[in-house]
Amino acid sequence: MLIAPSLLLAGCAQPTPFTPTLVDCVDLPPPPEAELITLKRGSEGYPPPTHWPEPYGTEIPPPEPYPVWGRYSYATTDPRQVSLEDAEAFADALRQATGAPTRILSHPSQLHTGSKANQVLSNLQFGHSLVTVVIGPGWDPSTDEPILLFSGNPGTSSNNGSVLGLGWASQLVGYPGLAAEEGLSAVVMFSNAGGAESQGQHPDVIDDVACAIAWAGANLGADTDRVVFTGKSRGGGTALLWGANPHAHDYGVAGVFAHTPPWNHRHLIESPPELFPEIIFLAAELAGLPESPYWSAEPTPLDLRERFFEIHGPDGTPQSVAAHTIRAHREGLRDVERLSVGLGTHDQQVLYSDGVGLLQDFEDMGLSAHLEIGVRAGHIDQPGVWEQLDAALLDLTGHTASTFDPSPTRVLHAPVGDEAPNETLTAGAVPWVGLVPVLVETGATSSVLVCGPGGRLEVSGGAVFDRTVEEGCTRIDFTGPSEEGVIDWSFTVQGTPVAASERLHDAPLQTQVTSEQLGMEAYIPDTSDSRVAGFARL
């Protein structure tokens, strides 16, 4: 059996050993037999625990059977090993953010109260999920009641890849240390949501989250009555879902701060795959392509959409997927005092049609929320959501008066692109957004999607459309020509034609018509080519 060591970086104080408290919902394995080990550069590396093949084992697990709902291949293991170099880079980033050294640990018994270091518990096993915990310097559960910041990791990423691998989580790991500088206290917990394929909505994973929160209250002194959830993409979705607390577990929610979250999977359930090519690539990752032995040939985009349904719904149907989306549990968000969501009009991993659904549902529910839309923005964070999170944490720790706006739902337009954000915000209505497929097969049915506040919409190209539409999203179906060529699209909104400056990436509004059967590689030649055409207008 391989034992996961602990990584001790220079300058770490060890004042008082810690004795963990048992919690009914989890039976953590006893601590590893190895003593604290100081690893140096040039050694074989720091493998965090994957708990394979035994507790605290560090081997990469073999591929699980074909993943389906509730049987995710990394439910209790993590597919990525972390090198010593990655661990040291993580510790260095945390040191730069907090001014304190870092200890990376395998078990709660290795914690020390009053330590001057950041302490990181790597991959604690809660039921079907792995949770990594970041605790700031000076932590003392006998005197502190830290704010608990809970996050799911984005995309199909794992704890090792996103936390110790310095992914999106690196933007959160400094919060405990920064809080300590202000004489405050905070703890950050990252969950792998039950596995790389999971969206965090399986009932067992929801229960795992509640268990991790209960454990943090009993062992770290965390304030479980005021938990703050945050995340991006899948993590943004889990923030909203776990913040809604669908099983009515014994924790309170002080705030939810979500970047680019999926809401109702409308783009997967209703729209043709040509409109969201990046999701095809993500679905391929979920299916284990191209290495997966479960595919004998290259799948089509529709094949991959079917795979998504099998993984994210109990019976593999679109209806069961819809029944387990965040939207299905939206009533639980009524009790959340601080709610902030960021969206991008040209997000190709979570289509804007999902965002429009969220806007409409929030409006129908009368929710008080901060909503920020990045016009022409892709799958990126919105700066106002980060600002609201910072303000909320200072407010919750008693450091400042609240600056969160409790007014009815606001839509703030941040006219940003994928590269250069513009911090000038203007309040307004829902922007108009249109998407056209870049590729279509001859004679095949496809669609154009236009979302907006409602009004006169004219479309010409593969289809002719001229009518007044209601607020929301309008899908315009068309059939590809019988011969190869190019479809040129034009859009007129409220009597004004869409200008070239309003196009996404200044790309022409065109659809290429081909007689070749289109597989995944036709839409996603590589991960840097999103193959999207569209427009956005304030």
**Cα–Cα distances in Å, from 72 out to 130, 196, 241, 313?**
13, 7, 19, 12
Of residues 391 and 268, the one with the higher pLDDT is 391
Before 383, cis peptide (omega within 30)? no
The helix (run of H) or strand (run of E) holding residue 427 is: strand 426-427
Residue type, 388: Q
Do 277 and 532 touch, CB atoms closer than 8 A? yes
Place of tokens 């539409």: 469
Q: For 292-302, give one letter per residue: b (16+ CB within 10 A) or e.
A: eeebeeebbbe
What is the chain's mean pLDDT, rounded?
79
pLDDT in tens, 168-182: 666 777 777 767 767
pLDDT score for 292:
46
Q: Which residues contact 307 (CB under 8 A, 6 or more apart)?
A: 283, 286, 287, 299
Residue 259 clears pLDDT 70, i.e. is over it: yes
Residue 109 clears pLDDT 50, i.e. is over it: yes
pLDDT score for 40:
37
| Separation of alpha carbons 343 and 354, rounded Å | 9
pLDDT in tens, 29-87: 776 665 443 333 334 445 667 777 777 777 777 766 667 888 776 666 666 666 667 77
For residue 410, what pLDDT band results from cuts at 50, 70 and 90?
Answer: low
For residue 461, what pLDDT band results from cuts at 50, 70 and 90?
Answer: very high
Tell me the mean pLDDT in the region 421-447. 79
Of residues 181 and 383, the one with the higher pLDDT is 383
Residue 10 clears pLDDT 70, i.e. is over it: no
pLDDT in tens, 185-194: 789 999 988 8
Of 14-23, 292-301, 516-525, the range with the highest mean pLDDT is 14-23
Q: Which residues contact 415 (CB under 8 A, 6 or more apart)?
A: 374, 375, 376, 422, 424, 426, 538
Residue 132 clears pLDDT 70, i.e. is over it: yes
For residue 279, what pLDDT band results from cuts at 50, 70 and 90?
Answer: low
The helix (run of H) or strand (run of E) holding residue 235 is: helix 234-244
